[in-house]
Structure 1
Amino acid sequence: MTTETVDFRGLRISYDDRVLAPRIWTAAQSEWAAELIRTAPPGPVLELCSGAGHIGLLAVHLAPRSLVCVDADPVACDYLRQNAAAAGVPVDVREGRMDAVLGADERFAVVIADPPWVPTSGVAEFPEDPVLAIDGGDDGLDLVRSCLAVVAGHLLPQGSAVLQAGPDQADAVTALVEDHPDLRVAETRAFPRGSLIRIDRASGG
């Protein structure tokens, strides 16, 4: 495989065609997460479905905190470790299913979630992208649901999450958040290629 590199807002990010290529617009997720990190309660940052790691790495480069990254793809995790070393950012990389690699008592001040969100029926429209990295199930929200379950179980009181979804999925994500009584959607931001949703935990959650 040929390794490619991209400048992701000052970070040198490496990947190959087995890993989803970084989208420059997603730096907006990093920057929003960094804003939240600066005022969040004490505690580490968690990135779910981290891929090559660029979004989480940029967030904690801008606003330093301890970072835990989770991805089920061993190739993505290898690149994540390489990219973290190149950025000089220590990262605890957890390789495996998000519901299996986090301890029951682990809590995080900010969660960054980058789940696949393309419905299975639409995956063929993106032949350049690895299926594992984009296939979100029948409605595109299977991994979103998994991320929300982790947020509900591991986000600190007064903490926040920034979740990425499709450009037309913000309303559906908001409806899914309502299944978790301690969480609420605080803000959504629309972009041509995706949506970002801020999710807060109530102070007593």
Structure 2
Amino acid sequence: MTTLRAPMGATETIAFGPLDITFSEGVIRPRPWTTAQSEWAAEILLDAPAGRVLELCSGAGHIGLLSVLGSGRDLVCVDRSEIACVNARFNTECAGLASQVEIRNRPLEEAVADGEEFALVVADPPWVRHAEIGRFPEDPVTAIDGGDDGLVIARLCLQVIAKALMPGGSAILQLGPEGQVETLADELAAYAEDLVHTDTRRFPRGALMRVDRVPSCRS
């Protein structure tokens, strides 16, 4: 029997739904409320087209892992942080999902290859405005800094979604609680004319934005 070795550095393990998630210093602490993103994703997957799930800005991999748990769907986790990917790989093995999960340590601009398609995309991009990151000293700067308006990385996620979301597929982005969903909804047509903002779920600590790709509009 192989004993899994936790990532090096200061680590902590917390419950995230039914999963035990380990994270190291330099990786953002999973926030309990974000199980709502995974639960919504799992709900969507019940009727989604056949295909893989893509998690962008995956951190420790918790949101994606909980999204696909029990579904049999393959998952691709992408994060530019090497230590985040080490954490995600460890959590994948602990969850018994190593056979269906691929971890990619790369920037969003290189997240997917040409022609790759996914039935569902979940994304937890940094969304704190650069001028306000000092309000969260406990969080790694690279995991929360969303640029001047907090949406720089979220827009990169939308570029990936526009490229890789299959017809009939859906995406769920985690954003800030004040106006960010409306801003991105207004910009959505610039990424692809067949992407539609279909729903928003709001919470005290943030908001979840659902985007669907309309099957009949894509050739």
User: Distance between the aligned counterparts of 1:136 and 1:189, measured in 2?
Assistant: 20
Contact 1:17 1:129 (C-alpha < 8 Å) held by counterparts: no
- The DSSP-based 3-state class of the residue aligned with 1:123 is helix
Please list, as runs of the form range in 1=range in 2, the aligned pairs for 1:12-91 lying within 5 A after superposition. Answer: 12-90=20-98, 91=101
Q: Does 1:192 align with 2:204?
A: yes
Report the counterpart of residue 129 of structure 1 in structure 2: 139
Contact 2:16 2:35 (C-alpha < 8 Å) held by counterparts: yes
User: Distance between the aligned counterparts of 1:176 and 1:138, measured in 2?
Assistant: 17
- Size of the alignment, in residue pairs? 205
Runs of 4+ in 1 over 2 A off after TM superposition: none
Contact 1:145 1:176 (C-alpha < 8 Å) held by counterparts: no
Report the counterpart of residue 107 of structure 2 in structure 1: 97
Once the two structures are TM-superposed, the CA of residue 62 in structure 1 deviates from its matched residue by: 4.3
TM-score, normalised to structure 2's length? 0.91
Contact 2:177 2:203 (C-alpha < 8 Å) held by counterparts: yes
User: Distance between the aligned counterparts of 2:115 and 2:14, measured in 1?
Assistant: 36
User: Which of 162, 165, 173 pairs up with 1:155?
Assistant: 165
Contact 2:111 2:160 (C-alpha < 8 Å) held by counterparts: no
Once the two structures are TM-superposed, the CA of residue 176 in structure 1 deviates from its matched residue by: 2.2
Please list, as runs of the form range in 1=range in 2, the aligned pairs for 1:162-173 lying within 5 A after superposition. Answer: 162-168=172-178, 169-173=180-184
State percent identity of aligned pairs.
50
Which structure's CA Rg is the greater one?
2
Report the counterpart of residue 6 of structure 2 in structure 1: none
User: Distance between the aligned counterparts of 1:29 and 1:147, measured in 2?
Assistant: 16
What runs of 5+ residues in structure 1 fail to find an aligned partner? none
User: Distance between the aligned counterparts of 2:79 and 2:147, measured in 1?
Assistant: 17
